[in-house]
Amino acid sequence: MQYRTLGHTGIQVSTLALGAMNFGSLGHTTQDEVTTMVDTALERGINLIDTADVYSRGESEEMVGKAIAGRRDAVVLATKSGLPMGDSRNHQGSSRRWLTTSVEDSLRRLGVDHIDLYQIHRWDPRTSDEETLRALTDLQRSGKIRHFGSSTFPAYRIVQSQWAARENHLTRYVTEQPNYSILQRGIESHVLPVTQQYGLGVLTWSPLASGWLSGAIRAGRDIATSRSTFMPHRFDPTIPSNQSKLAAVEQLATLADSAGLTMIQLALAFVTAHPAVTSAIIGPRTIDHLHSQLAAADTTLSTDTLDAIDTIVAPGTDLAPSEKNDTPPALLDAALRRR
């Protein structure tokens, strides 16, 4: 396992991070299965675990807490807040009111007295940067969180939040967690240059593109993954963007074979090869998934292989732009762009 410094924090983290989205009811995983995966990840050198309050409505945090009990100091623990945690209008977002409640809920579920990295799951257009940053700064000063970061923020919002922190003499975000894979490279043209400019750590999610780069999805096969059941549009072969992804996957599979690599090794090593990336978050649902992903921990791609990837999916290109989850609200809601 390789390690890198998380932004300017001085914290050393593994280049593969254990993502806990599939822990609990979403991934149909039991506590014993989760503990086994955490045990294996730690034994193989992973020291960063990333979860969120919304994953299985808190169940993921509870399972992670039980799995790391007695070895809290061995783990760099990250969680997130901001997506809806119920039907209440105020049980979401990044207001001071909600953050001061949600952090206490996460601490309780995780069974810890502090969180190493507390992340805002999505930019909240209803709340000012000053409000959010002041609440996070106060939580940091109280010792409940060590550092805080953002997740899936558009580049311009990252810049704005950095400016707001400086203007109001508040602590700034130290990390960003964007969607990044061979099939979704758009952040190379806008987000990653900004994170490098401000020295932010980058923890990428979905490096296997929701299973498209796992090796299980190929032309002529029925697409059946855990994601295809609750996100069918992302796997519908009649949709042009999915046809583009499948065409790229076929070329990438040939490239991986010629390099003597699995598709998973190719996909994860591509993400961690970018100098702006600190860690790639893997999200195994089973211990077999974890083992196949850990095999990429020390994989390094040659320049020729990286160049070949660039010819299949051009740098800075998203094959499915609608799946990025960072689209400005006015592009999604016509009322926001009409007088």
**Crossing angle of helices 303-312 and 240-259, rounded to 10°:** 160
pTM of the model: 0.94
Q: Which residues of 256-287 are buried (b: 16+ CB within 10 A; e: fewer)?
A: beebebbbbbbbbbbbbbbebbbbbbbbbbbe
Residue found by looking up tokens 């090869």 in the block = 273
Provide the strand spans (E) within the chain: 3-5, 12-14, 16-19, 48-50, 76-81, 115-120, 145-151, 175-177, 201-204, 279-282
Phi, psi of 300 (to 5 degrees): -120, 130
* Residue 331 confidence (pLDDT): 82
Per-residue pLDDT of the chain (339 residues; tens, 9 = 90+): 999 999 999 999 999 999 999 999 999 999 999 999 999 999 999 999 999 999 999 999 999 999 999 999 999 999 999 999 999 999 999 999 999 999 999 999 999 999 999 999 999 999 999 999 999 999 999 999 999 999 999 999 999 999 999 999 999 999 999 999 999 999 999 999 999 999 999 999 999 999 999 999 988 776 665 555 667 788 888 899 999 999 999 999 999 999 999 999 999 999 999 999 999 999 999 999 999 999 999 999 999 999 999 999 999 999 998 887 887 778 878 888 887
| 55, 118, 173, 180: the active-site residue | 55
Q: How far apart, in whole angstroms, are the C-alpha atoms of residue 334 and residue 65?
A: 42
* Residue 174 confidence (pLDDT): 98
Handedness of CA 315, 319, 324, 328 (dihedral sign): positive
Q: How far apart, in whole angstroms, are the C-alpha atoms of residue 322 and residue 236?
A: 14
User: Which domains, ranges and CATH numbers included, belong to the chain?
Assistant: 3-331 (3.20.20.100)
Active site residue 55: yes
Closest CA to 179 of 157, 206, 219: 206
Closest CA to 318 of 151, 212, 183, 153: 183
* Residue 209 confidence (pLDDT): 95
